[in-house]
Chains A and B, each alone.
Chain A
Amino acid sequence: MSMKPWLHGRKPGDRRVRVERPHAAFFRYAGPGSLVAREAASRPRTTTGRVLERVRQALLGRPLSIHDEITERLSKKKALAIFSSDPISSSAYATEEMLRVLVLAGSAALLLSLPMAAAVALLLAVVAFSYRQIVHAYPSGGGDYAVARVNLPRIGSLVVAGALLIDYVMTVAVSTSSAVEQVISAAPALADFKVWIGVAAIALIALGNMRGLRESGNIFALPTYLFVGSALLMIAIGVFRIVVLGDGSPPPDPLPGAPSVPEMVGVLLLIRAFASGSVALTGTEAIANGVPAFKPPESRNAATTLAVVAGLLAVLFVGITFVAYSFGVVGIDDPVRRTVISQVAAIAFGDNSIGFYLFQTFTALILFLAANTSYNAFPRLAAILARDGYMPRQFSFRGDRLAFTSGIVVLSIVAAGLLIAFGGDTHALIPLYSVGVFLAFTIGQSGMLVHWLRGRPEGWRHRFAINLIGTVMTGVVTVVVLVAKAPTSLLVVVVIPLLLVVMYFIHRQYQASAAHLAVHIDAVIPPPRREERVIVPVAGINRAVIQAINVGRSIAPDIRAVLISDDPDEATQIRERWERQLPDVPLVTVESPYRALVGPLLAYLDVLDQTWPADREAPVTFVIIPEYVARSWWERLLYNQSANRLRRVLIGRPHTVVVNVPYRREPDDKPAPSGAP
């Protein structure tokens, strides 16, 4: 610390001195021997770096400290809105998916839509009950992955992780495409741009999350309540018109003597329709993943919220299906796409009415919000996998805004790629969606079976039975979805094993490197035992070379310079000068008639190794490479190309340390007198 000049006070004796604290701009003391870096320590120091930083801050906002992380606990009302956007938004397309399959067998098959919706609602009830058990058993959150990680072999949890990663990607792709379809149903003129609107929406959501978007904000709660409120109103109006006013034109009952509807439709089509409708369950797992976000008592509040979300979802799904069935609504693709839910809204609120446009806006908003939930879940799961060593470590690093940037970028790229590949068609994307979700459900539930069998707490039999029913039902649905949605669904069967292979490969690499780098915890590290020698490749005598030689001298007394030259006369001149100016450092001149630089130097190092006495341990060879620091980007093209080549070939050579000694031209450096190089 240094002092500034004296400062005078109001009285002659009241002088004071200001003590400078040079560290204060960059660090804070955090205890003995410990510093905390301040924001200024991370600021770029070059002009280009500062410009890029400004651009980045304009896009993403200023960096956040870890102290800025918000750890808000959610009330049930807020949690309901935040966690339910994903499951409840499924009601915007689940009915349509089911009807699209049934209509293939003719309009009479639509008679089955209501029983089918009831079956899906029953499945939802079973899954919700099963997840309530997870919520109570694993209050620290993590959902299916946490259950599988604790109770099943590692491969089980990795399959769940793979399935969930696919689920999160598909949530983004499906929710975005469906949201765009809702927009197009209200504004058909935009139909030609639907893929690019979707891609732009994904980019915007990604950008928002990279800025550190918080899901806990009220802004995220509002669209959910608006959608739920307006959808319930829409169903109520529809039911009123059907029941009280007698409106609607449901498909006619079959004539007496004709085959029953299921016979007409065929079992396979029925199974396919059920598999399509079961997409309504996607997102049910969200609450089990985020139990710690609830206010205490966390488990009870989460379980209550889960029950309410499941109930709401069932009402919306069955209600929308009932109104659609009663008015004979099916999805329309020509001349422009009109979703089932938009047609139901047109029936309830009036086509092109303000109510219709508002409802379409709320539907699109909740779908975009559902896409946003994956931006919280995917990067976090990827970060957990990265910390466990199954994903590249970059996924566990948080960016300037406390967001897991790598996860966000990968999620966006894959989801946008899918959107483009499938032409922004929700119907085409759905088969990929359901398989991953139900696979995760099944493995999570089976993990719970192991959980109850291991612990056998009071009343475990009853709980075991609930999870057993859940396991069997979701297992059956997984197979059904897989078979019924083939061949698209089979893509997941290929992708999950691929992901597993990649995860195991990464894990093995990390384990191998960790074992290689490990130091025994009790070992007392002895001083270095190998001797050291220094080799400085030179091209002549200049300031950079002298600096490198001086660094070499400070490392070991065994130092020699090596000149590789294809011009014997020039080599002789350099030697004469060298012996005059650097008499204590031997210069080895290697003539290279084939004009190679790197090869002869490597060969010289090999010969040195071979001539080392056999009874002594091989020495550590420091190769010190002088470098001239270029001041601008174009200068970098002119210098150090040989040094770079040399460094590349030397890295990895046994017992060899490569040291770059950069020589920077300081502003007050004076050029050497004429005649000097």
Chain B
Amino acid sequence: MMPFHKAVLGLNGGPTDELVVHYGCQLAKPASAELVAVHVIEVDWRHELSEEMSSENEAASAVLDLAEGIAERYRVKLTGDLLQAREVAAALVDEAIELGADAILVGLPYRKKFGGDFAIGATIPYVLHNAPCQVIVVREPVPSSGERRVGAEPVPLTSQPGPALAMGEILGGKR
């Protein structure tokens, strides 16, 4: 993996957020790299893009606050960036380009329903195809069969974050 100087962490308020932040901090700390935690509120076409989505903003800000709290414990510089956009994936990539980030970290949650599978959705493929920098996908740990799980297990400060490189890193992309 190439070391990075500035990375964008894509957070969605889901169970993988903590994993992404912990992993990002662990990667950033040795290189004194800077992290930008980005949370995008998707605004549908019934609302103006600049309309204040007050209820969602509170929760979204809490997502970024959580990331900032974790980064403070690692002593890693992390700034929170709250966006409103029509398309989460495009906003994430555009923000990474504007900030000059050389890595994007996104989380890949594991859904237990229907036999269990990774919920890759639309955001990760878009980021993989369009990001001009390396993309690191942090996979949520797969629960062992029969194990009852609710959300992601918190990762202790000193431990490695689960099987974090499950999908590995994908270098490069279209600029």
Query: Which residues of A pack against B, CB within 8 Å?
Result: 1-3, 6-7, 9-11, 13-19, 21, 23-24, 28-30, 36, 38, 65, 67
Contact = CB atoms under 8 A, between A and B. Distances in A.
Nearest to A36: B69
A67 to B, nearest CB: 5
Interface string B92-136: 011101100000000000000000000000000000000000000
A74 to B, nearest CB: 17
A417 B97 CA distance: 63
B26 interface: no
A607 to B, nearest CB: 54
Contacts of A65: 72-73
B65 A1 contact: no
B83 A17 contact: yes
Most buried by B among A15, A16, A17, A18: A16
Nearest to A27: B65
A508 B73 CA distance: 41
B68 A15 contact: no
A24 B54 contact: no
Contacts of A24: 61, 64-65, 68, 80
A21 B95 CA distance: 17
B144 interface: no
A14 B80 CA distance: 20
Contacts of A15: 49, 85-86
A14 B50 contact: no
A2 B98 CA distance: 21
Contacts of B66: 28-29
A27 to B, nearest CB: 8
Contacts of A1: 52, 54, 57, 61, 82
Interface in B9-49: 40-41, 49
A17 B61 contact: no
7 contacts: A3-B84, A10-B94, A14-B90, A16-B84, A17-B49, A18-B83, A29-B58
Nearest to A8: B94
B9 to A, nearest CB: 15
B57 A19 contact: yes
Contacts of A67: 72-73
B95 A16 contact: yes
B72 A6 contact: no
A16 B68 contact: no
B68 A7 contact: no
B90 A9 contact: yes
A16 B83 contact: yes
B148 to A, nearest CB: 25
A29 B83 CA distance: 18
B69 A28 contact: yes
A468 to B, nearest CB: 46
B46 to A, nearest CB: 16
Contacts of B95: 16
Contacts, number: 83
Q: Which 7 A-B pairs have the closest CB atoms?
A: A16-B85, A28-B65, A9-B94, A14-B90, A19-B82, A29-B62, A16-B91
Contact of B52 (A3, A11, A30): A3
A21 B80 contact: yes
A9 B64 contact: no
A30 B91 CA distance: 27
Nearest to B39: A19
Given A21-B82, A24-B61, A30-B65, 13 more contacts: A1-B52, A3-B50, A9-B90, A13-B86, A13-B87, A14-B91, A19-B60, A21-B64, A23-B61, A24-B68, A29-B61, A29-B62, A29-B66
B95 to A, nearest CB: 7
B153 interface: no
Nearest to B83: A16
B81 interface: yes
Contacts of A30: 65, 69
Most buried by A among B66, B87, B93: B87
B94 A19 contact: no
A23 B174 CA distance: 36
Contact of A19 (B62, B68, B84, B97): B84
A31 to B, nearest CB: 8
Nearest to B85: A16
A174 B97 CA distance: 64
Contacts of B85: 9, 14-17
B94 A17 contact: no
Nearest to B61: A21
Nearest to A14: B90
Nearest to A5: B50
Contacts of A7: 94, 98
Nearest to A18: B83
Nearest to B48: A17
Contacts of B61: 1, 21, 23-24, 29
Contacts of A38: 68, 72
Contacts of B57: 1, 19
Contacts of B73: 65, 67
Given A16-B40, A17-B49, A21-B64, A9 B54 contact: no
Contacts of A19: 41, 57, 60, 82-84
Contact of B84 (A13, A17, A21): A17
Contacts of A2: 52
A257 to B, nearest CB: 75
B86 A14 contact: yes
B17 to A, nearest CB: 14
Contacts of B86: 13-15
A13 B87 CA distance: 9
A135 to B, nearest CB: 29
A23 B62 CA distance: 11
A240 to B, nearest CB: 49
A18 to B, nearest CB: 6
A14 B95 CA distance: 11
A6 B80 CA distance: 18
A339 B118 CA distance: 74
B84 A11 contact: no
Contacts of A16: 40, 49, 83-85, 91, 94-95
A1 B49 CA distance: 15
B59 to A, nearest CB: 9
Nearest to B40: A16
Nearest to A20: B82
Nearest to A28: B65
B97 A10 contact: yes
Contacts of A21: 61, 64, 80, 82
Nearest to A24: B80
B47 to A, nearest CB: 11
